[in-house]
Chain A
Amino acid sequence: KAGVTQTPRYLIKTRGQQVTLSCSPISGHRSVSWYQQTPGQGLQFLFEYFSETQRNKGNFPGRFSGRQFSNSRSEMNVSTLELGDSALYLCASSLGLEAATEAFFGQGTRLTVV
Chain B
Amino acid sequence: SQKIEQNSEALNIQEGKTATLTCNYTNYSPAYLQWYRQDPGRGPVFLLLIRENEKEKRKERLKVTFDTTLKQSLFHITASQPADSATYLCVAVGGYGQNFVFGPGTRLSVLP
User: Which residues of chain B come closer than 8 Å to A64, judged between CB atoms?
Assistant: none
Interface: B46 (CB within 8 A): yes
Q: Per-position contact with A for B91-103: 1 when CB-CB < 8 Å, else 0? A: 0011111111111
Q: Is the CB of A43 within 8 A of B49?
A: no
Known A-B contacts A42-B103, A103-B46; A94 and B98 likewise in contact (beta carbons under 8 Å): yes
> Which size bracket describes the interface of A in this complex?
20 to 34
- Smallest Cβ distance from A91 to chain B, in angstroms? 8
A102 with B34: in contact, given A50-B97, A55-B97 (CB under 8 Å)?
yes
Query: Which of chain B's residues have a CB closer than 8 A to the CB of A4?
Result: 43
Count of residues in B whose CB is under 8 Å from the partner chain:
26
Smallest CB gap from B93: residue in A:
A99
Main secondary structure of the interface of A (DSSP, over half): strand
User: Does B10 sit at the interface, judged by CB under 8 A?
Assistant: no
Partner of A96 from the list B43, B98, B100 (CB cut-off 8 Å) is B98
Query: What 7 pairs between A and B have smallest CB-CB spacing?
Result: A105-B43, A43-B102, A102-B46, A56-B99, A42-B104, A56-B97, A48-B98
- Interface residue ranges, A against B (CB under 8 Å): 4, 31, 33, 35, 42-45, 48, 50, 55-56, 58, 90, 92, 94, 96, 98-108
**Interface set of B (CB-CB < 8 Å, partner A):** 31-32, 34, 36, 41-46, 49, 51, 89, 93-105
Given contact pairs A42-B102, A90-B43, A107-B42, a sample of 4 additional A-B residue pairs in the complex whose CB atoms are under 8 Å apart? A48-B98, A50-B98, A102-B49, A103-B44
